[in-house]
């Protein structure tokens, strides 16, 4: 067992012991003995020593259901904390340097060996434009209150690792841990009410405040050091390779709770939070920078007679930040005019900090300049006065309906009834027309009024506070022009990126022709200020066609877009709409970026980070740094050492795999008349709609699988460990390829083609988390007898997937090459197994009677959902 595994087990044991003490104090020895009996039964079942767990759980009294569910939920959260801490601790524990820390220095050495000069490397690194877009998809099950306690527990694990602690100090750490665990135990895991979109935005801001605010300057220091070691050159002050955007408060696709008023409030809250965070920095710097020697430029700014010129300048900035914060706060209640003191341009924040920095260097005090002042300057460049850029997202049908109402009112007929050419002719003419489209007395219906109100908020907001306008379910060039016209009508005079999102299999295949038509329109290219952004949808395409066909369609769509934009001499920015799970395009970011088509990552990369993955990847400063390092290294490598294009023979194989995969997937999901009913009986899909997870409804509209959002679709299968959306179709596709004698070709593709290797690696990872025995237990308790054969068939297909992947990798067990990951999975299974069995029992009881949402039974059920989500990490 490695040192990490040993320390992880020690930490998990300690946290579990302290949780046990807390449980004993509240529920007594007898109850704690039940918990231990359940845990031992789960272990015995895993070792094949009979079916002890079911009988142990069957003996539970009704009043024990909630505390038992809570106990195992907390065990899993504590195991997560220990694992995250151990991942950070590797840096200081005499272990080999983790890959996350080595990635950039090793890449720079390889790039130099490949012939890239120092200037070229430094220039490309400084120009990187990586945007991580934080989204509020409802898969973060932990409350913010608990997340803060979990972060404090991680800090105490770090504190106890100091080798020079006295016995009394070690005892103090243990007491703090005991207190924090008790506080977590006595805090409800589940929200009683759904969060509002504003609550979600505040949650996103909290991740910045408590983690990314520290991680960004620390990350950039290490990037600067790696660049200097490799080239002798420094990262420019204005460089911000990684920036953040957000959909929280801007994503109104299918969410009626996100309104124009909500978007305005979130923009103001972001300005308030940015001003508040920078005020803390400036207060500190004003106290520290007491030096007298200053450059002529700084003296001129504050007056020659100032005894402490740095403090004088920073106090001016502090006064303006206070005025900005006060204005943002007052504007939340009612619109307020901004006084001259309010900061409105990022240069107004950055310039005084740069002046102090340059003056200190000129006066021989570079060591002071390169301390906290440089960190503040890096934050100012990365976050600015607006903290994150807010994207707006809306469904193309809403724009179409709004324009239909408008054209109908104007006596032109219904826009929705026109063909594409007539729409384009109308839209282009109106975009050029100087007169308003609508008279002032036009009174639109509520939906159209909301679309127009959102456009007015965009027009009124500072450009630097906004990101892109994303059009869901885009399918034609007119979808982009429609948004441009609505924004123009609302008074927007500056350019804004309007981004078509291609989601379904058919839309991905049609993405190239749509963009060809758009870029070929007279005047469209001239109106582009910066790159043409296009969003690739992973969630809906996988739900529509399965991951085999969806992955290949995404790849081909990107290739076509790269070619088309190159022919039109337009820069392309691809925006990847990935979720946390493999079934929604998730997986290790580094490998995913390096598996993109050549030319698709040209110094620019935009991707969503969603729900619980935001906390797991960016919730702690140390973990956030590691993930920022991986993103930066991967985008730089994909830009400067892009993979070769796939061989024609590989393309043929992928075409056949995709065709076989989509047929096998749809034969089950679409063609089997029992499938929807089986899904609803065997998973907690119906109950997920009652979970107060996020502000969005679980469905876009009434209907079957096609009406479900991708998240409950994935979440339901994850809870039962069948993980069906991530693998269904691959088993047939790969087995058919082997039957055609293409085994050698598949091995070659896996060895030499990053795209295919990454797909198989992600498939292997999700299959290692799948568990047919657990899925079967749900069926036995929940599924009506006529549907049981379908469940057995699906578990057989899962088994086939596992066998064919093992055949491809040549390993005895899944993830044999990653013992660390296997250890994490094994460690969790002891706590997950009881939660799965308990959840199946609770679902059965809940469905047999109408239980109130706040009843102990329903609360216990929701806690099992939260616990399983925590244990499996990437839930939806």
Tens-digit pLDDT profile for residues 629-638: 999 999 999 9
Of 34, 202, 488, 543, which one is the catalytic site residue?
A: 543
pLDDT mean over 827-838: 89
Tens-digit pLDDT profile for residues 368-378: 999 999 999 99
What is the C-alpha separation between 601 and 128, in angstroms, rounded? 10
Q: Is 137 a catalytic residue?
A: yes
What is the C-alpha separation between 190 and 863, in angstroms, rounded? 7
Contact 561/536 with Cβ under 8 angstroms?
no
Lowest mean pLDDT among 536-545, 747-756, 786-795: 536-545
pLDDT at 824: 80
> What secondary structure letter does DSSP report for 48?
T
Which residue did the predictor score with more confidence, 562 or 579? 562
Percent of the chain with pLDDT over 70: 93
Residue tagged 């300049």 (tokens): 369
Count the residues in the chain.
876
Q: Where are the beta strands (DSSP E) in 236-285?
A: 242-246
- The structure's pTM equals 0.91
pLDDT mean over 786-799: 98
pLDDT at 335: 93
Which residue did the predictor score with more confidence, 65 or 194? 65
What is the C-alpha separation between 485 and 704, in angstroms, rounded? 35
Tens-digit pLDDT profile for residues 180-215: 999 999 988 777 777 889 988 998 999 999 999 999
What is the C-alpha separation between 256 and 362, in angstroms, rounded? 55
Average predicted confidence (pLDDT) for the chain: 90
What is the C-alpha separation between 248 and 257, in angstroms, rounded? 11
pLDDT of 548 higher than 60: yes
The partner residues of 118 in beta bridges, in order of sequence, read none
710: closest CA among 691, 730, 688, 731?
Answer: 688
Around Cβ 704, how many Cβ atoms within 10 Å? Answer: 13
Listing DSSP states for 153-180 in one string gives: HHHHHHHHT-TT--HHHHHHHHHHHHHH
Contact 724/717 with Cβ under 8 angstroms?
yes
Confidence of residue 62 (pLDDT cuts 50, 70, 90): confident
What is the C-alpha separation between 184 and 74, in angstroms, rounded? 8
Lowest mean pLDDT among 43-52, 343-352, 429-438: 43-52
Helix axes 754-769, 788-809, angle to 10 degrees: 130
Of 137, 576, 590, 617, which one is the catalytic site residue?
A: 137
Q: How many CA atoms lie within 13 A of 308 on its CB side?
A: 12
| SS3 state of residue 132 | strand
pLDDT at 691: 66
pLDDT at 584: 43
What is the C-alpha separation between 326 and 333, in angstroms, rounded? 12
What is the C-alpha separation between 574 and 786, in angstroms, rounded? 46
pLDDT at 592: 87
726: closest CA among 535, 596, 548, 478?
Answer: 548
What backbone torsions phi and psi does residue 541 show, to the nearest 5 degrees? Answer: -65, -40
269: closest CA among 196, 215, 218, 319?
Answer: 196
Tens-digit pLDDT profile for residues 477-532: 999 999 999 999 999 999 999 999 999 899 999 999 999 999 999 989 988 989 99
Burial 670-693 (b: 16+ CB within 10 A, else e): eeeeebbbbbbbbbbbbbbeebeb
Lowest mean pLDDT among 295-299, 712-716, 738-742: 712-716
What is the C-alpha separation between 332 and 264, in angstroms, rounded? 9
Confidence of residue 138 (pLDDT cuts 50, 70, 90): very low
What is the C-alpha separation between 409 and 443, in angstroms, rounded? 10
pLDDT mean over 262-268: 98
Listing DSSP states for 332-368 in one string gives: HHS--PPPTTS--SHHHHHHHHHHHHHHHHHTT-HHH
Tens-digit pLDDT profile for residues 732-763: 999 999 999 999 999 999 999 999 999 999 99
382: closest CA among 128, 608, 571, 574?
Answer: 128
Question: Residues 791, 795, 800, 802: what is their CA dihedral angle, to the nearest 10 degrees?
Answer: 150
pLDDT of 612 higher than 80: no
- Which tokens is 237 given? 């002050």
| SS3 state of residue 232 | coil
pLDDT at 9: 82
| SS3 state of residue 809 | helix
Which residue did the predictor score with more confidence, 412 or 98? 412
Tens-digit pLDDT profile for residues 667-699: 999 999 999 999 999 999 888 776 666 656 555
The partner residues of 471 in beta bridges, in order of sequence, read 394, 500
Residue tagged 């240069």 (tokens): 347
pLDDT at 154: 86
Helix axes 65-89, 621-640, angle to 10 degrees: 60
Q: In sequence order, which ranges of 546-647 are alpha helices (DSSP H)?
A: 547-567, 589-594, 611-618, 621-640
pLDDT mean over 761-787: 95
Q: Is 590 a catalytic residue?
A: no
pLDDT of 851 higher than 60: no
> What secondary structure letter does DSSP report for 699?
B
C-alpha distances in angstroms, 12 versus 79, 302, 874?
Answer: 6, 56, 20
What is the C-alpha separation between 270 and 462, in angstroms, rounded? 12
| SS3 state of residue 146 | helix
pLDDT at 583: 42
Contact 115/149 with Cβ under 8 angstroms?
no
């Amino acid at each position: 067992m490695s040192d990490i595994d040993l320390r992880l087990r020690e930490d998990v044991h300690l946290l579990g012991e302290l949780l046990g003490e807390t449980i004993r104090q509240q529920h007594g020895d007898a109850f704690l003995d039940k918990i231990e009996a359940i845990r031992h039964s789960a272990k015995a079942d895993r070792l094949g020593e009979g079916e002890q767990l079911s009988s142990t759980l069957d003996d539970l009294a009704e009043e024990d259901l909630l505390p038992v569910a809570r106990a195992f939920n907390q065990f899993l959260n504590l195991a997560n904390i220990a694992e995250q801490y151990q991942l950070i601790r590797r840096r200081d524990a005499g272990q080999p340097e983790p890959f996350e820390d080595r990635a950039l220095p090793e890449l720079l050495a390889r790039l130099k060996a490949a012939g890239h000069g120092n200037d070229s490397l430094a220039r490309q690194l400084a120009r990187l434009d990586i945007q991580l877009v934080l989204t509020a998809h409802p898969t973060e099950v932990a409350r913010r209150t608990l997340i803060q306690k979990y972060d404090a527990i991680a800090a105490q694990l770090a504190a106890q690792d100091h080798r020079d602690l006295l016995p009394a100090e070690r005892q103090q750490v243990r007491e703090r841990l005991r207190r924090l665990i008790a506080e977590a135990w006595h805090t409800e895991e589940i929200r009683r009410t759904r969060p509002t979109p504003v609550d979600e935005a505040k949650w996103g801001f909290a991740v910045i405040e408590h983690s990314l605010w520290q991680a960004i300057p620390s990350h950039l220091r290490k990037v600067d050091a790696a660049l200097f070691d490799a080239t002798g050159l420094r990262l420019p002050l204005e460089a911000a390779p990684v920036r953040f955007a957000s959909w929280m408060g801007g994503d109104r696709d299918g969410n009626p709770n996100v309104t124009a008023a909500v978007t305005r409030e979130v923009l103001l809250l972001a300005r308030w939070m940015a001003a508040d965070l920078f005020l803390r920095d400036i207060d500190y710097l004003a106290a520290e920078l007491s030096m007298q020697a200053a450059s002529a430029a700084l003296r001129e700014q504050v007056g020659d007679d100032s005894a402490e010129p740095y403090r004088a300048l920073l106090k001016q900035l502090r006064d303006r930040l206070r005025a900005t914060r006060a204005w943002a706060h007052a504007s939340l209640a009612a619109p307020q005019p901004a006084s001259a003191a309010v900061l409105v341009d990022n240069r107004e924040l950055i310039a005084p900090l740069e002046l102090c920095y340059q003056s200190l260097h000129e006066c021989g005090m570079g060591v002071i300049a390169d301390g906290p002042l440089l960190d503040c300057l890096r934050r100012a460049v990365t976050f600015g006065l607006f903290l994150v850029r807010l994207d707006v997202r809306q469904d193309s049908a809403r724009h179409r309906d709004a324009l239909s109402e408008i054209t109908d009112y104007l006596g032109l007929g219904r826009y929705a009834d026109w063909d594409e050419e007539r729409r384009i002719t109308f839209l282009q003419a109106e975009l050029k027309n100087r007169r308003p489209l609508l008279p002032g007395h036009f009174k639109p219906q509520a939906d159209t009024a909301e679309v127009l109100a959102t456009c007015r908020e965009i027009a009124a907001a500072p450009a630097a506070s906004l990101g892109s306008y994303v059009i869901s379910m885009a399918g034609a060039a007119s979808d982009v022009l429609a948004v441009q016209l609505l924004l123009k009508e609302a008074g927007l005079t500056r350019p804004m990126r309007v981004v078509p999102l291609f989601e379904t299999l058919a839309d991905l295949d049609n993405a190239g022709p749509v963009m060809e038509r758009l870029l070929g329109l007279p005047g469209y290219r001239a109106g582009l200020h910066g790159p043409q952004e296009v969003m690739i949808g992973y969630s809906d395409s996988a739900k529509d066609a399965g991951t085999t066909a969806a992955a290949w369609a995404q790849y081909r769509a990107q290739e076509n877009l790269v070619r088309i934009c190159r022919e039109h001499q337009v820069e392309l920015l691809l925006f990847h709409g990935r979720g946390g799970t493999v079934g929604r395009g998730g997986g290790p970011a580094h490998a995913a970026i390096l598996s993109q088509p050549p030319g698709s990552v040209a110094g620019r990369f935009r991707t969503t980070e969603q729900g619980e993955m935001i906390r797991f990847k960016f919730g702690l400063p140390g973990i956030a740094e590691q993930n920022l390092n991986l993103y930066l290294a991967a985008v730089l490598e994909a830009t400067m050492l892009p993979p070769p294009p796939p061989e024609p023979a590989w393309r043929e194989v992928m075409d056949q795999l995709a065709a076989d995969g989509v047929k096998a997937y749809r034969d089950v999901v679409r063609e089997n008349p029992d499938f929807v009913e089986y899904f609803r009986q065997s998973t907690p899909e119906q109950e997920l709609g009652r979970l107060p997870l996020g502000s969005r409804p679980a469905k876009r509209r009434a209907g079957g699988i096609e009406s479900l959002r991708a998240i409950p679709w994935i979440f339901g299968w994850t809870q039962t460990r069948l993980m069906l959306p991530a693998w269904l179709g691959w088993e047939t596709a790969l087995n058919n390829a082997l039957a055609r004698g293409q085994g050698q070709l598949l091995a070659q593709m896996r060895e030499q083609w990053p795209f295919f290797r990454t797909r198989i690696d992600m498939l292997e990872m999700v299959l290692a988390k799948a568990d047919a025995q657990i899925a079967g237990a749900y069926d036995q308790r929940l599924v009506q007898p006529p549907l049981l054969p379908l469940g057995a068939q699906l578990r057989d297909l899962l088994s086939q997937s596992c066998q064919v992947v093992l055949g491809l990798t040549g390993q005895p067990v899944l993830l044999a090459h990653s013992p660390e990951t296997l250890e994490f999975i094994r460690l969790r299974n002891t706590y997950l197994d009881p939660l799965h069995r308990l959840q199946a029992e609770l679902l059965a009881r809940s469905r047999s009677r109408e239980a109130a949402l706040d009843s102990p039974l329903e609360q216990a059920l929701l806690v099992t959902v939260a616990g399983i989500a925590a244990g499996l990490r990437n839930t939806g």
